[in-house]
Amino acid sequence: MKGYLILEDGNIFEGEYIGEEKEVISEFVFNTSMTGYLEVLTDPSYAGQSVVMTYPLIGNYGIALEDQESVKPYISGFIVNELSRIGSNFRKNIDLKDYLIQHHIPCIQGIDTRYLTKLIRSKGCMNGMITTTHYDDLTEIFPRIKAYMIHNVVEETTCSSIYTVGQGKLRVALLDLGAKRNIVQSLVERHLEVTVYPADTKAKEIIDGNYDGIMLSNGPGDPSENEALIEEIKLLIQSQIPIFAICLGHQLIALAHQFHTKKLKYGHHGANHPVKDLNTGQVYISTQNHNFVINEESIDSKKARPWFINVNDGTIEGIEYLNEKIKTVQFHPEACAGPMDTNHLFDQFVEMMEEK
């Protein structure tokens, strides 16, 4: 069956459609990872987006369900150059094609993903439609594609109720903004008791829990639209409880300090992004998935200082707050499938709590 990707700039790509027949409009980004496609599919931060994989062959080791980062995929669509027909892996539960069909994720293979990626790099992230319909007249289609916006995705991806995992003398409250499972796992591995809260939880409830630390997770969408959540985070900051935040959490902490965010041209999505620790000069390779960053010019030097920067483009990748026990990073130190270069940042969070 033929499938079509129609971009808002007028470009149309044709390939082989895989999955349930339906039309999906979303924002399109590209991911440069060579492995970890299941983690991409199940990363809640991709809610409202479709992903173009730049590596030409995807699916060669199948799907090991225990590696999922969430209970289900939140991705809108999947574009690959070639989808492996057979996955070879002793841990495999199902092939990628069957997984996509099972979860109703539309996929097109046979597209020139190299050209498509270069197009997104030159023009920026753009909206598009995945469809099986060949439209002779696109007059009515383009306004629909261009009008699409990502909204309220934190509400869609957060957990529905409070739950606790792990045991330890130190207790952590994790505010789930669309959290990847491995964030929780990284805390549990350090012998912490972790209580996970839905994103709409009031700050008072968390503060009254007398936790040793607070963790803010990754999540999808434009951070600035979460106005009510930002007000609650201000109260968490005032509590003086040590805080560690990743990705969306990092951005929301900055917004709560009256710093500003901006949208990147095509974002950072992949497992090969170098970041530099400004305290040590050490460069690490990181996994990233975000379209928004903190505007460095908006950072109040009396409140905070840049901690990490992106070696490729110089954007802010981490912030240390000067008079508060708060550290935040834009990248994913818990990343699976790797790299694990910055996993030690969780140990620093434990040290912050022990000092407190």
252-273 pLDDT, tens digit each: 999 999 999 999 999 999 999 9
Q: What is the pLDDT of residues 332-344, one digit of tens each?
A: 999 988 889 999 9
The pLDDT assigned to 20 comes to 83
* pLDDT in the model for residue 126: 97
Rg (CA), the chain: 20
Mean pLDDT (whole number) for 212-231 = 98
pLDDT of residue 300: 97
Mean pLDDT for the stretch of residues 224-248: 98
Q: What percent of the chain has pLDDT over 70?
A: 100
Report whether pLDDT(172) > 90: yes
- CATH number for the region 2-150 comes to 3.50.30.20
* pLDDT at residue 63, as a whole number: 97
From-to residues of CATH 3.40.50.880 in the chain: 154-355
**Domain 154-355, what architecture?**
3-Layer(aba) Sandwich (3.40)
pLDDT tens-digit series, residues 110-155: 999 999 999 999 999 999 999 999 998 999 999 999 999 999 999 9
Task: Please give the positions annotated as active site.
Answer: 247, 332, 334
Rounded distance between C-alpha atoms, residue 257 and residue 39, angstroms: 31
CA distance 155 to 172: 22
**Residue 264, phi then psi, degrees to nearest 5:** -75, 160
Residues that constitute the known binding site:
45, 219, 221, 248, 251, 289, 292
pLDDT at 272: 94
Tell me if the bond preceding 337 is cis, omega within 30° of 0.
yes
Tell me the pLDDT tens digit for each residue of 61-118. 999 999 999 999 999 999 999 999 899 999 999 999 999 999 999 999 999 999 999 9
**What is residue 337's predicted lDDT score, i.e. its pLDDT?**
81
Mean pLDDT, rounded, for 302-323: 97
* pLDDT, average across residues 192-208: 98
Mean predicted lDDT score pLDDT of the chain: 96
Q: 94: which strand partners? A: 63
CATH 3.50.30.20 in the chain, residue ranges? 2-150
Indicate the annotated binding residues for L-glutamine.
45, 219, 221, 248, 251, 289, 292
233 Cβ contact partners less than 8 Å away, ≥ 6 residues apart: 203, 216, 252, 253, 256
pLDDT confidence band for 301 (50 / 70 / 90): very high
pLDDT above 90 (res 316): yes
Dist. CA 283–CA 341, nearest whole Å: 9
Residue 235's pLDDT is what? Answer: 98
- Of 135-139, 222-226, 274-278, 283-287, where does mean pLDDT reach its minimum? 135-139
Average pLDDT over residues 12-16: 98
Query: What is residue 339's predicted lDDT score, i.e. its pLDDT?
Result: 86
Percent of the chain having pLDDT more than 90? 96
Give the whole-angstrom CA distance, residue 112 versus residue 14: 9
Output the pLDDT for position 356: 79
Q: What are phi and psi of 200, to 5 degrees?
A: -90, 10
What residues have CB less than 8 Å from 217, skipping those under 6 apart?
174, 175, 176, 177, 178, 179, 180, 183, 245, 246, 247, 248, 249
Q: Which residues contact 154 (CB under 8 A, 6 or more apart)?
A: 177, 178, 199, 219, 220, 221, 226, 229, 248
| pLDDT number for residue 336 | 85
Model pTM score: 0.96
**Helix axis angle, 248-256 to 227-238, nearest 10°:** 70
